Amino acid sequence: MFAYVARQAIMDRDLEVQGYELFFRDGKRNSFPNIKPDEATSKILTNAHLTLGLEEITGGKIAYLNFFDDTLLSHFPSSLDPEAIVIELIETAPVTDELVASCRRLQGKGFQIALDDHDFDPKWDPLLPFTSIVKIDVSNLSKKVISKHLPKFMRFGIRLVAQKVESYEKLQECMDLGFDLFQGFFFEQPEVIRNRELPAGKMSLIQLMSESAKIEMDYDKINGIIEREASLSYMLLRFINNPAFNKSQQISSLRHALNYMGETEVKKFIALLALANLGDEKPSELLNLSLVRAKFCELLSKARSDSENPPKGFLVGLFSLLDAMLDQTMENLVSKLPVSEDLRVALCGEHNFLNCYLELAKTFESANWVETRKIAAKLKMEQRTLHGIYNQSIVWSNSMVACI
């Protein structure tokens, strides 16, 4: 048995990632075979079904883990660090004296308790003195209903998480209501689609990405673009000299980097560097997600023996959130990038293998294992292989973010 892991960011009011909710399932039944649901999280964590540790999955952020009532009563993993996790009590748990006592005991040990998918039912009130966080699905509740109940939680000093925030308008509404934390895919959407010219600095970055996406890279053009943006030259050399990639030589110029690392790798680094600077005004998780997608699609492309320069799998993942970063339509943006036709149509949502790679990455982000299975079958990929690829992508993304 092996476990799929998906993670979804939980952001604070500054749109910085405060933690990740982790979802564990197998690839066949969307649950764990031969294990009662009540024991699922505990079994995974204590029996080493994960190929990665929690810290590697979350990049050192807090992990929000779903627990059932039986787990809290009798199967709770004693090895968990209370500073590293939040215990999410699922909404189907019956509120009993035993459960209240267990939550009181866990809170006494320093754990934070969160009530997941809270429905405002008074039956949960006995748990509120031991609760640190309440998560509320804001997609199906009116502003009036939510605002009626929030003062009770605020009296207890409980932090509020707005779940399923899917637009910036909903984000602003939840901020106005007093929510502290936000979970959803709002940050993947352009705030406002507006037909405006990009600033000169952003255009330089688009040009840099354009050159890195060409089959034959024009070194003089790239040098010219980087020379116009002095910070790019510094960041590129700092990035390439990171010990994670280069343990033996100090790289002093782009030409030196090309000779040492090879054109394909440098193309990826240039595209990545440009993207990081394009998204400097957006939530950091947008770049993080782009990196996970880029590495996932690249590794998938390699596993399927695609061999092209530039690496289209990497680029389709890396460029997949450009519209959200620049608040423009993807069609308008790819018109500025001289990318190949198959990459262009994949980014614009038309179906081909590159688009399949991208859609497969998205199924991991939403823990939609049913769709994962369908696309994996279409691509003739084993789910176990995909699980390993996604894990590698998370670790790689974490290492990139640390050195950009």
pTM exceeds cut of 0.95: no
165 or 57, higher pLDDT: 165
CATH of 4-188, one of 3.20.20.450, 3.40.47.10, 2.40.10.500, 3.40.190.10: 3.20.20.450
Q: What is the 3-state secondary structure (H, E, C) of 203-248?
A: HHHHHHHHHHCCCCCCHHHHHHHHHHCHHHHHHHHHHHCCCCCCCC
- Nearest alpha-carbon partner for 167 in 149, 145, 193: 193
**How far, in Å, CA of 351 to CA of 348, rounded?**
9
**How much of the chain is in helix, strand and coil states, percent to nearest 5?**
55, 10, 35
CB 78 within 8 A of CB 53: no
Identity of the residue numbered 306: D
- Write the pLDDT tens digit of every residue in 98-128: 999 999 999 999 999 999 999 899 999 999 9
Count of CB atoms situated within 10 Å of the CB of 189:
16
Please state the CATH superfamily assignment of the domain spanning residues 200-403 in this structure: Hypothetical protein af1432 (1.10.3210.10)
Count of CB atoms situated within 10 Å of the CB of 218:
10
CA distances from 176 to 11, 137, 367 (A): 16, 16, 30
Give domain limits for the chain: 4-188, 200-403
- Write the pLDDT tens digit of every residue in 7-40: 899 999 999 999 999 876 544 444 434 445 445 5
Give the pLDDT band (50/70/90) at residue 277: confident
CB 208 within 8 A of CB 231: no
194 or 65, higher pLDDT: 65
**How far, in Å, CA of 347 to CA of 355, rounded?**
7
Q: State mean pLDDT over 146-173.
A: 94
| Cis check: omega of the bond before 126, within 30 degrees of 0 | no
